[in-house]
Structure 1
Amino acid sequence: GLLVGTLDAVLDSTSKVAPFRILHQTPDSQVYWSIACGASREEITEHWNWLEHNVMSTLSVFDSNEDITSFVQGKIRGLIAEEGKGSFVKEEDPEKFREGLMKFEKCFGLPEQEKLVTYYSCSYWRGRVPCQGWLYLSTNFLSFYSFLLGAEIKLIISWDEISKLEKTSNVILTESIHVCSRGEDHYFSMFLHINETFLLMEQLANYAVRRLFDKETFENDLVLHDPLQITKRGLESRAHSEQFSAFFRLPKEETLKEVHECFLWVPFSHFNTHGKMCISENYICFASQDGSSCSVIIPLREVVGVDKADPTNRGVSISTKGKTAFRFTEVRDFEQLVAKLRIKCGAASSPQRIVNTETAASSDSGNPMDLDEGQSKTGQRDNSKTVSTEALMTVYHPQDAENLDSKMLKEKMKEQSWNILFVERGHGVSMFRTKKTRDLVVRGIPESLRGELWLLFSGAVNDMASNPGYYTELVEKSLGTCTLATDEIERDLRRSLPEHPAFQSDTGISALRRVLTAYAYRNPQIGYCQAMNILTSVLLLYAKEEEAFWLLVAVCERMLPDYFNRRIIGALVDQAVFEELIRVHLPQLTDHMTDMTFFSSVSLSWFLTLFISVLPIESAVNVVDCFFYDGIKAILQLGLTVLDYNIEKLLSCKDDAEAVTVLNRFFDSVTNKDSPLPPTVQQGSNLSNTKSDHPKVDITDLIRESNE
């Protein structure tokens, strides 16, 4: 941006000549062409560094000095034009947008209804030579046009034909966008704002895929279904909101409203961490950007006060019901922000809202997940006898506080570590989340805290707080209904952890039936999919019934979208990512396998059940711990580690069946030496009774290695 900021002065003959300039001259020519100018040595040095990084490394591919001159001139003019065009939102600058639209329509001859979203100056690489031109992004196509030195280049790619879209770099291209379509590779580089361009391309490509595979949802989206509503600003705003909600595990309905760079005081470390404060309708969130891995989520329902703190440092102090004060400093326009947040929190603290938030996590209580007693009774009404209010593990495996063996002592030590963390970093939805939090998760969450922390890290606690009484109403409406989904649920009920005592009784089976039937009623597009029963069974072991329902919602609708439907598109996409990771990190395994689809077929259950279907239950729950904290990344990392552990045996396998046997024996050998679960429960979770000759592997070591 700095380079282009001075280029207008270069072309303006009436402007004052800057004291520092960068000139380009072709050898044997008397003509100097001005590239950039600056008012100081520092400014011109920044321009020079930009040219070195983005332009000079490319010039070696040209055969003649004249070609270099033409390319540099075209590149600089393109950057000037792009900087001048600003945001191509039709309503803001109709003249400039109309000019770009006319070029787009004239060059490509696409259907009249094709909507141009925006366009960028860039270089398209044809072989080893870059061609300067314009990249046009429309609702259905990616198009490029260049006319340089008498050569015309025209490229049109449909978004739904793109098989790979990524940012990449190599020796010649410092940073470029790689597009693969119908087996052909296309590279675009030298963007003024490559991240912005890539974000929009990603959005448009994703929408094209959704239109193909999820037509009903796409048509119900009023904005995406009508191309006239799709704008550059709208797409960017939508992308940022989706990233915001996914990162902080917030309800999908949350829209990112404001972002402020600032510092957050971290009291237990006694330092200010730099990052961004992100504000939506119902949440104030912060994520550090200085490597400290610190994040905070503050629901407005928990806020009791917003004040100006230390005006000299532009400070904002936010107090919560848990008697915690979060202090942000160096906040731009902090006075206006305080005023806006006070209005927001005033609305969030209305009498009706206070009643609704009593089901939320509260730092004041000993257990942040305990529901307010009065609210719980009111919400359950006549269904109090049917909806279970206890996690099944507390019923079928109560802890004996008096008889503590070595494993129970270790479990108590884990609990103590978490209690110390809660004292230092807060307890509940607004706790500080840091590297220490993640380290404790990797070690395995204690049995007594597992349900509470799953609810917290998945964001399900926020869904439950926003919808008091919703689950009970769903149970009342859904029980007794007869659909294809309910028939499939009934068929699979007794196949879910069948040897665990909790699911050998009507208590566990009935709770599982209610949760699965209620979810199928809530989301008929998904309804019920095999593997949901296995996952929900484990959720019910550690979470109360309503909590298990909201955990299932978080998994199916946010954390693993498009996994649990007829096409399992989400799982197939992540398996393609998994195959690519294998190619990069385990190339010898890739070379050995004649067909990479083997990994997809063998790992499908890993993704759909979070390894619950292949690991003993006492080990699988540790994987679920990491999944709720890190998301699908935890499953991908563990999958790679499993293959790496067995790579020598896999390389000696003669066929797929032998490789499957190797992996099954490995999974049977995975143990959890610190698990306090009784042997009957542990043995009941093993899928194979065959004695394994594989050396025992502890799940904690396996997970720790996958994180290195």
Structure 2
Amino acid sequence: MTEFHAVTAGVPQNVFTLPTPTDITLTPFWTTILQKDNFLLQRSSSPGNHLFRNLVSTIANVFDTKLPPFRILFQREVNTMCLQIAVGETEKAINAAWFWIEKNMMPELETIDHPLDRERWVSEKINMIVTEIESGTDELSSDENVRNASRTFRQIFDIPHSERFVSYYSCAYKSRQGWLYISENFIGFHSYILGVETKELIELKEIQEIKKEKSKGIFDDSLRLITKDKQEYYLSNMFKRDEVYDVLVQLTGQAMQRWLKNAGGDAPGQSTDAAFTAAELSSKRSIQQTHRLLADGSKSPHHQLVSPLKQDLATQKRNNNYCSRFRLPADQYLISGLDATYSKDAAADRDPHFLSQVPPGVVHLIGRVYLSQTFLTFESEERLPAPQHNLPVCKAVFPLYTIKRVERLNKGAYTSGVAITTCHRMEHDFFLHAEKNACEQFCETLKDLLLKQIPLFKKVKPFMATCESEQIFQTDSLIDTRVHIGGLGLEFGYAENSKKSKDRSKTKLWKLYFQENGRNLTMIKLPTFGKLVRVGLPNSLRGEIWEASSGAMYLRFANQGLYQETLDKYKDQKSTSTEEIEKDLNRSLPEYPGYQSPEGINRLRRVLTAYAWSNPELGYCQAMNIVVSALLIYTTEEQAFWILHILVDRFFPGYYSTNMYGALLDQITFEQLVEKTMPILWNHFKRTNVELSVACLPWFLSLYINSMPLEFAVRVLDILFMEGPRILFQIG
């Protein structure tokens, strides 16, 4: 590494590029001003006629072929293809690169005889330089078009070299056709037609609203951007309007998130013990340095090309949608997906008395099967009837560590598939609808991923012993569940009376559903699942269904023991968050008997402090105590800890933060919904000066737990974990 850094010492910045083949016979508007050995220094030359010069510039703008005014080429022999190795915006910058080449490359090049060897040496040398000094920039993009467009963007708008470029699109602004450039933090428009230049640059964090519109009231090709200072930018003639809209929404959201995080101040969850904080920071810094050294040592400095940011954003969006749809941990990424038919037979033995309430679990549905590094998932094409038409009829999630057996299925010459058997002895068949090679690749990928899960197999049985659903199968279960698993309700009672809520009958129905469709880690969700949740969950199973529906169960499995480790690590430590927690403990559902005793208060304290330490940037926020106090009636401390992670990070980002930006944005949305759907009521609020957002904010922050009797509030939570945050708007 020392030798490598010595090579790049004193290299001019922002001029060298990845070697790009260039045919100088096809680009006549260049003049060679210096030539030495195999190197050429060229300057772009414009025709002398003013009108013709404007015409050439217009053509360059129309085809987005604007080039830097200076470049350096390497040509191994006369009349051969050149390599472009440097470009410059100024004569000073390009001269610095030329002098560096004269001093550091030409002498060594003279010792190489064969022209091809010379070209290979120059290419490797320049690649090494660019990889080192242009790290984190678009000059290392694997797409040559992105590299060129990024240079044009920076040249036009004088943008920092480190700004990552996303993409560019043809469009019109103020009736002038030009190009819309989008980067990580900026959006710019540039047009140059017959000597008239139009240029606009907007920071993404300044954009307040993005609207799709129709130009001339007919064509779906326009966007209207509105900034915080109420300036409007109308863009039309946009052939990829929807793609631009999606990219801008994603980027503006990320820009706002960065701005809000930077404006958040000190982390409230950070320890106030100076000695402890210093030791922790030193430890983190040491770990980070070790990881960096290992990473540097494992990578060659050559050819470390990066994928274009647009491609990264598309991948990120696809993975986020995948994780959100199946409630998977955020670290999962989509590896493969194929159209398939999912088939499952009914259970062999069942009580016919309950056939009307819980139909046989026969499944034969067309949909799509997906693979991530830890999960096999399936979603059916068929949707539920309105108003749940956004939900699939069948959704299945199988952690690979719960799959005990895999068999290949061959159904005819053109169809193949796999049959998996889970740890609950249920067989699930997937017939793949794809070409033979794609099916083979899918099966091989599944096999490789399953082999990586072998170390986790031994953790499955101990984990399932913590699930209450195993208790109702105690007679024929392989899991030892002699002790009931649950929350404070086991000792202090539940909000709902067990007899009045018919807990015994509900539990029998759920046992049948588990028997037909799996339980805890291997449960598939069919329409009957939603019906049983709406009827009302039995108190003993409520906590487990909550974490199974929300995806918290997968987090708890992947991080077994982390909750207790966090408590042990930060025992007796103090922070701003722990001080705030102590103030709110006695305000948490004081009417519930469990929180009138030390046992309930101590459980609540442990969950809230563990979360504050595990997420020091956020720490503790008011209303967390209300939510966790309700969870702990039905869940263990560890279950509540991971459900809180899901609520804060995925369901309600920005709700439980110092500025509560997520909740405030949802209040604006809620007001707009009321105005649109209940105009008479909205006008009454306006006449009486009622601030709806102020009145409703506590509803959303406490998830209605403080706004209605607890027995009804937990029913809201039942639907919330199954269907997501939209239930808050529906109840409101």
CA distance in 2, matches of 1:463, 1:278: 19
- In 2, are the aligned partners of 1:89 and 1:232 still within 8 Å (CA)? no
Matched, 1:334 2:439: yes
**TM-superposition CA deviations, 1:494-540 (whole Å, max 9, x none):** 11111111111111111111111211121122221111111111101
* Amino acid in structure 2 at the alignment position of 1:215: N
CA distance in 2, matches of 1:320, 1:251: 20
- In 2, are the aligned partners of 1:78 and 1:133 still within 8 Å (CA)? no
SS in 2 for 1:277: strand
CA distance in 2, matches of 1:368, 1:201: 51
| Equivalent residue in structure 2 for 1:325, among 424, 428, 443 | 428
Alignment of 1:588-667 (within 5 A): 588-594=680-686, 598-639=691-732
- In 2, are the aligned partners of 1:305 and 1:342 still within 8 Å (CA)? no
State the match for 2:281 in structure 1: none
- In 2, are the aligned partners of 1:141 and 1:158 still within 8 Å (CA)? yes
Q: 1:89 to 1:116 in 2, by over 3 A?
A: closer
Moved more, 615-624 or 363-372: 363-372
Q: 1:526 to 1:183 in 2, by over 3 A?
A: same
- In 2, are the aligned partners of 1:357 and 1:465 still within 8 Å (CA)? no
* Amino acid in structure 1 at the alignment position of 2:462: E
Matched, 1:473 2:576: no
* Amino acid in structure 1 at the alignment position of 2:725: I
State the match for 2:201 in structure 1: 156
State the match for 2:554 in structure 1: 462
Q: 1:507 to 1:558 in 2, by over 3 A?
A: same
Q: 1:95 to 1:246 in 2, by over 3 A?
A: closer
State the match for 1:524 in structure 2: 616
* Amino acid in structure 1 at the alignment position of 2:459: V
| Equivalent residue in structure 2 for 1:234, among 312, 333, 342 | 312
Q: CA deviation at 1:159?
A: 0.4
SS in 1 for 2:220: coil
Q: 1:94 to 1:346 in 2, by over 3 A?
A: closer
State the match for 1:576 in structure 2: 668
State the match for 1:355 in structure 2: 459
State the match for 1:664 in structure 2: none
Q: 1:115 to 1:487 in 2, by over 3 A?
A: closer
State the match for 1:482 in structure 2: 574
State the match for 1:301 in structure 2: 401
**TM-superposition CA deviations, 1:634-693 (whole Å, max 9, x none):** 112211xxxxxxxxxxxxxxxxxxxxxxxxxxxxxxxxxxxxxxxxxxxxxxxxxxxxxx
* Amino acid in structure 2 at the alignment position of 1:602: A
* Amino acid in structure 1 at the alignment position of 2:260: F
State the match for 2:150 in structure 1: 101
Q: CA deviation at 1:93?
A: 6.0
State the match for 1:657 in structure 2: none
Length-normalised TM-score, structure 1: 0.67
Matched, 1:543 2:635: yes
Length-normalised TM-score, structure 2: 0.65
CA distance in 2, matches of 1:174, 1:422: 49
Q: 1:257 to 1:94 in 2, by over 3 A?
A: closer
CA distance in 1, matches of 2:449, 2:584: 46
**TM-superposition CA deviations, 1:102-158 (whole Å, max 9, x none):** 44345434344433221123455x5xx7x6443211121112234569875433221
CA distance in 2, matches of 1:271, 1:404: 33
**TM-superposition CA deviations, 1:573-593 (whole Å, max 9, x none):** 222222232233233344444
SS in 1 for 2:705: coil
- In 2, are the aligned partners of 1:199 and 1:239 still within 8 Å (CA)? no
CA distance in 2, matches of 1:230, 1:588: 51
* Amino acid in structure 1 at the alignment position of 2:419: S
* Amino acid in structure 2 at the alignment position of 1:553: H
**TM-superposition CA deviations, 1:212-238 (whole Å, max 9, x none):** 111399999999xxxx99711112112
Q: 1:327 to 1:494 in 2, by over 3 A?
A: same
SS in 2 for 1:257: strand
**TM-superposition CA deviations, 1:385-418 (whole Å, max 9, x none):** xxx9641111122899xx985x244x44433443
Moved more, 503-512 or 302-311: 302-311
Matched, 1:260 2:332: no
Q: CA deviation at 1:331?
A: 4.0
SS in 2 for 1:252: coil
**TM-superposition CA deviations, 1:59-107 (whole Å, max 9, x none):** xxxxxxxxxxxxxxx9xx989xxxxxxxx98656654334433443454
Q: CA deviation at 1:624?
A: 0.9
Q: CA deviation at 1:630?
A: 1.7
* Amino acid in structure 1 at the alignment position of 2:202: I
State the match for 2:450 in structure 1: 345
Q: 1:581 to 1:154 in 2, by over 3 A?
A: farther
* Amino acid in structure 2 at the alignment position of 1:395: E
Matched, 1:453 2:545: yes
- In 2, are the aligned partners of 1:358 and 1:375 still within 8 Å (CA)? no
Matched, 1:397 2:502: no
Q: 1:434 to 1:577 in 2, by over 3 A?
A: farther
Give the structure, 1 or 2, with the largest relative contact order (CA under 8 Å, sep 6 or more).
2
Look at both structures and tell me which one has the larger radius of gyration over its CA atoms.
Answer: 2
- In 1, are the aligned partners of 2:498 and 2:539 still within 8 Å (CA)? no
- In 1, are the aligned partners of 2:138 and 2:147 still within 8 Å (CA)? no
Q: 1:340 to 1:509 in 2, by over 3 A?
A: same
- In 2, are the aligned partners of 1:359 and 1:375 still within 8 Å (CA)? no
- In 2, are the aligned partners of 1:356 and 1:468 still within 8 Å (CA)? no
State the match for 1:205 in structure 2: 252
**TM-superposition CA deviations, 1:362-385 (whole Å, max 9, x none):** 8993469999989999xxxxxxxx
Moved more, 339-348 or 324-333: 324-333
Moved more, 360-369 or 275-284: 360-369
State the match for 1:696 in structure 2: none
**TM-superposition CA deviations, 1:466-501 (whole Å, max 9, x none):** 112222222223342222222221221111111111
Moved more, 110-119 or 90-99: 90-99
State the match for 2:163 in structure 1: 114
Instruction: Report how many residues are paired.
Output: 535
Alignment of 1:666-681 (within 5 A): none
SS in 2 for 1:564: coil
SS in 2 for 1:213: helix
Matched, 1:183 2:195: no
| Equivalent residue in structure 2 for 1:365, among 451, 470, 492 | 470
- In 2, are the aligned partners of 1:390 and 1:545 still within 8 Å (CA)? no
Q: CA deviation at 1:239?
A: 1.8
CA distance in 2, matches of 1:465, 1:588: 50
Matched, 1:418 2:510: yes
SS in 2 for 1:250: coil
Q: 1:436 to 1:195 in 2, by over 3 A?
A: farther
Moved more, 235-244 or 475-484: 475-484
* Amino acid in structure 2 at the alignment position of 1:303: I
**TM-superposition CA deviations, 1:414-463 (whole Å, max 9, x none):** 33443343333332233222343223323332222211100101111111
Q: 1:103 to 1:501 in 2, by over 3 A?
A: same
Q: CA deviation at 1:353?
A: 4.7
SS in 2 for 1:520: helix
CA distance in 2, matches of 1:206, 1:581: 21
CA distance in 2, matches of 1:628, 1:114: 40
* Amino acid in structure 1 at the alignment position of 2:150: L
Matched, 1:313 2:415: yes
**TM-superposition CA deviations, 1:219-271 (whole Å, max 9, x none):** 99999xxxx99711112112222222222222222222233333333655766
CA distance in 2, matches of 1:285, 1:609: 32
Moved more, 196-205 or 518-527: 196-205
CA distance in 2, matches of 1:195, 1:419: 47
CA distance in 2, matches of 1:615, 1:78: 62
State the match for 1:20 in structure 2: none
| Equivalent residue in structure 2 for 1:248, among 298, 313, 326 | 326
